[in-house]
Structure 1
Amino acid sequence: MVCQLEQLSSDKLGQIPHPHLGDFDYLRDPQQFAQDFKHNPEGLVGAKYLFKCSDGYTRIFVIKRVLYRAEGIIDQASVVVEVECVCTESDCQWHRDRQVMKISFSSRGRSSEDALIWEARSKAESTGDLWAFNHLPQIIDSITITYDETTAQGRLKTHPKENYKERVMRVTVLEELHPLSELEDPRDLAQVFYDVLQIHQWLYECAGILHRDLSIGNVMFRQKDGKIYGVLNDFDLSSRVQDMSNGSASDQRTGTRPFMSIDLLNPNWEGGHLYRHDIESLFYIMLCLACRYRRPNVPTPEPRAYSAWFSGTDQQVFDNKNSFLTDPHAKAPPIQPYFAGFKPWLERIYTKLHSGYKRRPTYSSGVSSQPGIQSAYDEDDEDPNFDWNTLNKRASYTTMRSIMSSFEGKSLKTRWASWNRDN
């Protein structure tokens, strides 16, 4: 293998000139892109590229700024940039609103983000759940680029015979959404979280999609007619529920470490990615925001709360979270005054998760014992029908909805008004 690598030219090894030099690039070589910009995406600013769109047009865009570079996930880090179309087509929709381009490197066999979002939007249209459109990302265009067989990555894939996951580069252009840091009213923030809870459940129940990577960067909002709508963004690590049942989509533990559930950080966990793991992630997002920020865009001084969750190894974060969530004498969260309205939410959700983890059975069909997870050995431990997916309904949508549907004594807007309570 080393000998073959030595025979490759510099361009085949993925070494390319800076995008400011020469003609426009075509985003055609994922290896060169990853090598040059994965760790320093700021070098992309000012670059111009040709984008061969699905409508037949070839458009030129310039990268204006780097918005985000993902860290702490299983797949290679995604890069999200703001782009501006500079093509001459008068009817080009890229001229109308702010757009972002996401460049990610995922397994070729994994369902693409654009495919899952299109499925969800088609389901919303066919079922009449039009409210869901306001809470899903809007994709403008997307292309998938494979590694050429003459590149180092392309040659490398021919050698491992088993368990090799070939990767592709996915380039997706989407409507630009707003981050939580732009919100000023705590009630608007609460509505965004309640919206995300609703669309997450609708995706799971109606569209058959589990998100699997709730993080503070993936909870966003859009403004429409002066109103704010929470949006669940970034479906790179999402899976179809039917695929997860046969194990094809649950062989890797996905998520962003500070917001991952205890189970998914536990090396002994064998139960796959469950619905409640996303609910637990939503709790950590709200907890970290309320305790690590004075306001949505103003961090608290160092040392900040739960810093170990952001800097530790999987084992360290697991140990820390396990202690936090199962210790009856755990220190109360340092909720900042701006977020005082979230205290009842966080206390009630904490109680549910604490109780669920403490009381779940030590063993369950297909699930090994969980070292490090305490158990109270009460009536739930003897329950052969214990619902692991929701910790016996403690982390169910019904439970969360009852907690999050009002804020500071006033009801929030329920978007999914036709939800069936018997589900």
Structure 2
Amino acid sequence: MSQSGRKGTVRVILKAPIFSQYSLVGLRTFLYDIETSSGVADTPLVVKMSYQVVGRMPEDKVLAIAHKAKVGHLPKAYMTRDLWKMSDGVRQIFYERSKELSENENEIATYEDRVLRALGYTKYLPSKNLFSKSVKFIPLMVDQMLDCLHDLRYKAHILHRNISCHNIMYEIRDGVPYFILIDFDLEKLVEDDGDPSMVPKHRTGTLPFMAHEILLEMVHKDNADFKPKVVHRLRHDIESLLNVSLWSTMTMPVVHDAKQKKAI
């Protein structure tokens, strides 16, 4: 992988898998513990691999914009690399074959080309582990994330668009949780008035935490009488944050020990 601001490459060894998820729009995300061939950072690192639409701004560049705008509560990215495109493999073969067999352009099987991107950043702690022990830090999480979302929108002109329990992590600073917003694969740059710089093709988010207005549009998307398409705004991310905070009051960690599970 390429290390930000330095020449050469860093050899990365994948260790234990931490997390995997398939989102609404087919965005597959995998998170691994890693070892590196050199001292990249003083803290443990992870690598996130996900399929992004070709042409979408890479996450490390999005984070660079946000950090430059002095937005807090963001991860520190150390390494990045584009691995391969779907068009380099089987998808393209099927497309070419479909093109040969189709009588007109409307019959050709199409797909949205994506690239598998790897991003190495600091390993943070899952917020659900914190809230499974006590809910007293939920107001702190909400307060910090509101600051982060507000500054993203008005300082960096970025909407996250995928606020979920998995995308809010934390670390301990001065004995207090410091929450971190991760996973900017579905972000969108916006203009000063809040309109997206480019019209997105998909509704985005993690289903249990999505804003009600966006969910309604998904349900009625084929209804000609339904109101025009909803533009994703900051208020939708804030509503998702509300849903995360409610979920956090009820979450429990995965328990593998039989005695501990029985005690709970």
- On whether the aligned pair clears a TM of 0.5, the verdict is yes
Is 1:297 the equivalent of 2:253? yes
The amino acid of 1:245's aligned partner reads D
CA apart distance, 1:149 = 5.8
Q: Please tell me whether the aligned partners of residues 77 and 120 of structure 2 are also in contact (alpha carbons under 8 angstroms).
A: yes
Corresponding residue for residue 250 of structure 1: 200
- Matched length: 233
Corresponding residue to 1:105 among 51, 66, 69? 51
Corresponding residue for residue 213 of structure 2: 263
Deviations 1:47-69 (A, max 9, x none): xxxx3545333333322211111
Corresponding residue for residue 121 of structure 2: 174
Cα distance change on mapping 1:52 and 1:280 into 2, 3 Å: closer
Q: Please tell me whether the aligned partners of residues 193 and 230 of structure 1 are also in contact (alpha carbons under 8 angstroms).
A: no
TM-score with structure 2 setting the length: 0.77
Distance across 2 between alignment mates of 1:228 and 1:150:
43
Corresponding residue to 2:89 among 151, 165, 168? 151
Cα distance change on mapping 1:142 and 1:211 into 2, 3 Å: same
The amino acid of 1:261's aligned partner reads A
Distance across 1 between alignment mates of 2:197 and 2:2:
35
Q: Please tell me whether the aligned partners of residues 190 and 197 of structure 2 are also in contact (alpha carbons under 8 angstroms).
A: no
Q: Note the 1:128-139 alignment, pairs <5 A.
A: 132-133=71-72, 135-139=73-77
Corresponding residue to 2:78 among 125, 140, 149? 140
Corresponding residue for residue 10 of structure 2: 59
Deviations 1:163-195 (A, max 9, x none): 853211111001111111332443333212210
Q: What secondary structure sits across from 2:246 in the alignment?
A: helix
Is 1:275 the equivalent of 2:221? no
Cα distance change on mapping 1:52 and 1:211 into 2, 3 Å: closer
The structure with the largest strand share of the pair is: 2
Structure having greater relative contact order (Cα 8 Å, sep ≥ 6): 2
Distance across 2 between alignment mates of 1:173 and 1:200:
22
User: Computing the radius of gyration over CA atoms, which structure comes out larger, 1 or 2?
Assistant: 1
Q: Please tell me whether the aligned partners of residues 116 and 235 of structure 1 are also in contact (alpha carbons under 8 angstroms).
A: yes
Distance across 2 between alignment mates of 1:277 and 1:254:
11
CA apart distance, 1:222 = 1.8
Distance across 1 between alignment mates of 2:247 and 2:3:
39
Deviations 1:366-405 (A, max 9, x none): xxxxxxxxxxxxxxxxxxxxxxxxxxxxxxxxxxxxxxxx
Cα distance change on mapping 1:204 and 1:75 into 2, 3 Å: farther
List, as ranges, runs of 4+ consecutive aligned residues in structure 1 with deviation greater than 4 Å.
155-164
Q: Please tell me whether the aligned partners of residues 86 and 114 of structure 2 are also in contact (alpha carbons under 8 angstroms).
A: no
CA apart distance, 1:227 = 3.0
Question: What fraction of aligned residue pairs are identical, expressed as a percent?
Answer: 25
Deviations 1:338-382 (A, max 9, x none): xxxxxxxxxxxxxxxxxxxxxxxxxxxxxxxxxxxxxxxxxxxxx
Cα distance change on mapping 1:105 and 1:150 into 2, 3 Å: closer
Corresponding residue to 1:285 among 211, 231, 244? 244
The amino acid of 1:275's aligned partner reads L
Cα distance change on mapping 1:75 and 1:118 into 2, 3 Å: farther
Q: Please tell me whether the aligned partners of residues 65 and 82 of structure 1 are also in contact (alpha carbons under 8 angstroms).
A: yes
Q: What secondary structure sits across from 2:153 in the alignment?
A: helix
Corresponding residue for residue 259 of structure 2: none
Cα distance change on mapping 1:193 and 1:149 into 2, 3 Å: closer
Deviations 1:292-311 (A, max 9, x none): 33xx5379xxxxxxxxxxxx
Cα distance change on mapping 1:155 and 1:298 into 2, 3 Å: closer
Distance across 1 between alignment mates of 2:181 and 2:86:
33
Deviations 1:55-95 (A, max 9, x none): 3333333222111112333142100111122x2x4xx224x
Q: Please tell me whether the aligned partners of residues 50 and 116 of structure 2 are also in contact (alpha carbons under 8 angstroms).
A: yes
Distance across 2 between alignment mates of 1:150 and 1:204:
35
TM-score with structure 1 setting the length: 0.50
- CA-based RMSD: 2.8
The amino acid of 1:288's aligned partner reads W
Distance across 1 between alignment mates of 2:2 and 2:181:
27
> Structure 1: 5+ residue runs without aligned partners?
1-50, 125-131, 300-423
Corresponding residue for residue 258 of structure 2: none
Corresponding residue for residue 64 of structure 2: 118
Q: Please tell me whether the aligned partners of residues 250 and 272 of structure 1 are also in contact (alpha carbons under 8 angstroms).
A: no
Q: Please tell me whether the aligned partners of residues 3 and 78 of structure 2 are also in contact (alpha carbons under 8 angstroms).
A: no
Q: Please tell me whether the aligned partners of residues 149 and 234 of structure 2 are also in contact (alpha carbons under 8 angstroms).
A: no
Corresponding residue for residue 196 of structure 1: 145
Distance across 2 between alignment mates of 1:99 and 1:176:
5
